[in-house]
Structure 1
Amino acid sequence: MSSSFTKSQRQTAFVWAIFGALFFSTKAILAKLMYREGADAIDVLTLRMIFSLPFFVLIGLWARRTQPYAMTRSDYGQVFVVGLFGYYLASLFDFMGLEYISVGLERLILFLTPSLVLIMSKFVLKKNIDVKQWLAMLLAYVGIVLVFVHEVSFSGSNVPLGSALVFASAASYATYLLMTGELVKRLGAMRLVAYAMAVSTVLCVLNYVVVRLPHELVEQNMTVYGYSLLNAVLCTVAPVVLTMMAVARLGSSIVSQISMVGPLATVGLGYVFLGEPITPTQLAGTSLVMVGIFLVGRVATK
C-alpha cells in the first residue's frame, strides 16, 4: 500500500501514527482528571461526544462529497448497530471501568482487542487460528494477569469490577471491528466513523437524560469543560484523523504495530499527571502484553 508514496511521505505518516497513538492514550488521563473535579463516567462520555460531534459532522459531509454513495435502509441499520457497539457501549464501559482501575491497566486491557477479534473470528466466522497465535495470545493474557494481581494489591477490591468493565469495552469494540468489514468498503472509513460517532452522541445524550437531570451537565465547572474539549479534539477527533491518514500511506498492519507505543505512553503519563506508581511487576506485565499482541499481528500478517 505504501509503494505509491515517497520516503518522505511515509516518514510523515509514521509521525502521524505515533501522535495518533499518543493522543488516544491521553483520553484516560483526562478522564481521571475530570473524576477528580467531581464528574463521573456518564458526564465524561456525554461531554466528550457533544464536543466532538461538530467535527465529525464536518468530516462526514466532506467524506460524503469525496466518496458519493447512496445508502440503503440496511446500511442505516448497520451504521446504528456499529455506533451502538463501537463508540457508545465501548466508551461507556471504558469510562466506567476507569473509575476503579489505573490508566495503565485500562490501556493494556483495551490493547487485547486484536486478540478478541481473532477469537470471535474463530467462533463466529469459523476462521482458523494458528498455534503460534494461540501461544502469543496466551503470553499477552499472562501479562494482563500479572498487572491485574499487582494492581489488586495496591488499589483494593474494586479492581475486578473495573477490569471487567474495561474488558467489556474491548469486547464491544472487537464486535464493532468484525461488523465493519463490508460496510467500510461501501461508505469509506472516515464517513463510517463520522456517522457512527453521530449515532453514539445521540445515544449518549438520551442515556444522560434518562439517568440524570439535564441541568446537571450544564452545571459542571469550567475545568471539566476544558478537559472535555481537550478530550474531544485531542483524544477523539485528532487520533481518528491521524490514524486514518497514516493507514492510507503505511497500511493497517504497520500502523497497528506503531500504536504499541500507546500502553507505555499511558503508564508514563499516569505517573506524571496522576501520580500512579510504576513498578517492575507492572513493566514486566506490560512488556508481555505488548510482545504477545505484536506476535499475534505478525503471524496474522504473514
Structure 2
Amino acid sequence: MGAALCLLSAACFGAMAIFGKLAYDAGVSPEALLLVRFTLAAVLLGIVVLVRPGLRRAASGPPRQGATGRPAMTRGRVLAIAVGLGAIGYATQASLFFSALRLMDASLLALILYTYPVMVTVTAVLLGRDRLTLARAAALAAASGGTLLVLLGAGGMSFHPLGALLAFASAVTYTVYILVADTVVHRLAPVVLSALVMTGAAGTLAARTLLTGGVDLGFGVSGWFWLAAIAVVSTVVAMLTFFAGLKRIGPSAAAILSTFEPVVTAALAALVLGESLTPVQLAGGALVLSCVVVLQLRRQDRGPRPAPDRPEPENRQGLDSAREDRTEPVGLAP
C-alpha cells in the first residue's frame, strides 16, 4: 500500500508541470499560481479536517521495519515543524520550481529535479539511517552519470543555465523537506499534516504578495481551471498520498518510488505540449530511472531480517516501542 500511494502521488505531481505550462499560456503569472495553489489547497484540506473528524487522528501501530528510534516531541514542536515545512520548505521549493518552469521545458526540469532521490539516499547514509553498499554506490554513480547525460544532451531544447540552477536548488530544498517531514509524519494524520503544510506555505506567499504590491488575478476561466487542477490533483491528492506513503515506507524508498513523476511529466509533455527529448537525454533519463528502481528492487529482495536468537526481549522492546508510538501522534481533536 505504501508503494502504491507513493506511485499515485508521483503521477499527480508529474502532471503539475504540464498544468503549470497551460496556466502560463492562459495568462497566469508564477506569483498568482503559487498564491492561489496553496491558498485553495489549504482551504480544501481545512474543510476536510472539519467535516471528517475521524481523519484527524494518526493511526497507531508498530514502527515500520528498519525505522530508527524517534525522539519524543511536544505537541507544540510537532505543529511548529509541520507549519514550517510549508512556510519555509514547500514555499521555497515551489517558488524555485515554477521560476525554473518559465525558463525551460517541463520534461528537462523534471529530470533535473529528480536528482533528489539520490541526494535523499546519500544524506540518509550520512545521517546513519542507511548503509551504503558497493552495489548501491555503483548504482548512485550510474544515476549521477545519467543526470549528466541529460544535461549535456539538452542542445535542441530550451536549456537555460539559470533555469537549471533553479531546478537543482529546488531538488536540494525538496531533499531537506522530505527528511524533515519524516520526523513528524508518524505523529500527525496525513490530512492534518497536509493542511498544516499548505497553511504555512499559503501564509508565506500571502505575506510576500503584500510586500510586493499584490498579484494580478484578472486572467480568464481557463487560467482558473488549470489552477484548480494544480490545487486539487497536484497538491491536495498528491500531498495526502505522499505523506501516507512516506509514513509506511520511509524517506529513501518514498523518494525512489517518486521517480515515476518525471516519466509521467515527460509522457504528458510529449502528448500535450509537443516537447521531445534527444536520444542522449533519453538514455540518461533511462539510466537514472533504472538505477533508482534497482535500488528499490534490491531493498525488497533482501526481505525481512531473520528473527534474533532471543525473540522475547526483542518482542517486548517492539511492544514497548509501539506503545510509545501510540502516545506520540498529535491530531487537531481536543
TM-score tier, shorter chain, comes to 0.7 to 0.9
User: Are 1:195 and 2:196 an aligned pair?
Assistant: yes
1:279 CA displacement: 3.1
Partner of 2:27: 38
Is the 2:59–2:189 contact (alpha carbons within 8 Å) kept by the matching residues of 1? no
Larger fraction in helix: 1
Deviations 1:168-196 (A, max 9, x none): 11111111121123322222333222211
Q: Does 1:273 align with 2:276?
A: no
What is the alpha-carbon distance in structure 2 between the residues aligned to residue 239 and residue 180 of structure 1? 15
Partner of 1:185: helix, strand, or coil? Answer: coil
Q: 2:57 aligns with which of 51, 56, 66?
A: 66
* CA distance in 1 between partners of 2:287 and 2:241 (Å): 27
State, as a whole percentage, how many aligned pairs show the same letter: 23
Q: 1:114 to 1:63 in 2, by over 3 A?
A: farther
C-alpha spacing 1:140/1:63, structure 2 compared with 1 (3 Å)? farther
1:84 to partner: Cα distance: 3.3
Q: By how many angstroms is 1:245 displaced? A: 5.8
Q: Is the contact made by 2:190 and 2:240 (CA closer than 8 Å) also made in structure 1?
A: no
Gaps of 5+ in 1: 3-9
Deviation track 1:63-96 (CA, whole Å, cap 9, x = no partner) reads: 6643499963322332233223442111111111
Q: 1:254 to 1:127 in 2, by over 3 A?
A: closer
Q: Tell me by how many angstroms 1:121 deviates.
A: 2.9
Which string of whole-angstrom CA distances, capped at 9 and with x for unpartnered residues, describes residues 83-141 of structure 1?
A: 23442111111111111222112222232222111222344558642232222122112
Aligned with residue 115 of structure 1, among 107, 118, 127: 118
Change (3 A) 1:247 1:120: closer
Corresponding residue of 1:204: 205
Q: What root-mean-square deviation, in Å, do the aligned CA atoms of Structure 1 and Structure 2 show?
A: 3.1
Which residue number corresponds to residue 169 of structure 1? 170
Using the size of structure 1 for normalisation, the TM-score is 0.81
Mapped partners of 2:194, 2:256: distance in 1: 21
Q: TM-score, normalised by structure 2?
A: 0.74
Structure 1 residues 265, 152: CA separation in 2 closer, same or farther (over 3 Å shift)? same
Taking a change above 3 Å as real, the CA distance of residues 210 and 58 of structure 1, as seen in their structure-2 partners, is: same
Mapping of residues 34-183 of structure 1, within 5 Å? 34-61=23-50, 62=53, 65-67=56-58, 72-124=75-127, 128-156=131-159, 159-183=160-184
Judge conservation of contact 1:97–1:165 (CA < 8 Å) in 2. yes
Distance in 1, Cα, partners of 2:119 & 2:254: 19
Matched letter for residue 205 of structure 1: A
Give the secondary-structure state (helix, strand or coil) at the position aligned to 2:104: coil
Cα distance change, pair 224–264 in 1 and its aligned pair in 2 (3 A): same
Alpha-carbon contact 1:112-1:293 (below 8 Å) kept: no
